[in-house]
Amino acid sequence: MTEPSKSAPDIQGEGNYDAARRYRKEQETFARSGKVEEKAKQAEAALEGPEGDELEAARHKAARGEPKEEGEAKRPPERPLSR
């Protein structure tokens, strides 16, 4: 498989390979940083704290594909794959 050209647009075939590569690298770097447990504890504290209800509501809203703010595009509903 050939490497996408640096001058190619963001959409490269069926996805943005450069962005996917950067994302994977950043995720691996974070996982190896030793900060995962710390961040998990911070998230748990936030969910159990005064902002917990708001965070849960935002999580449910995002899971339904609803826009974050007024005027933001709504994600189309997911459709099951046809057989």
The whole-chain average pLDDT of the chain stands at: 81
Q: How many CA atoms are closer than 13 Å to the CA of 59, on its beta-carbon side? A: 8
Looking at the whole model, is its pTM more than 0.75?
A: no
For 18-54, what is each residue's pLDDT tens digit? 889 999 999 999 999 999 999 999 999 999 999 999 9
Sequence-distant (6+) residues with CB within 8 A of 36 are 30
Rounded to whole angstroms, the maximal C-alpha distance in the chain is 51
> What residue ranges do the domains of the chain occupy?
35-66
pLDDT for 14 equals 74
CA end-to-end span of the chain, whole Å?
28
Which tokens go with 42?
Answer: 């911070």
pLDDT for 15 equals 78
Question: 12 forms bridges with which residues in the sheet?
Answer: 15
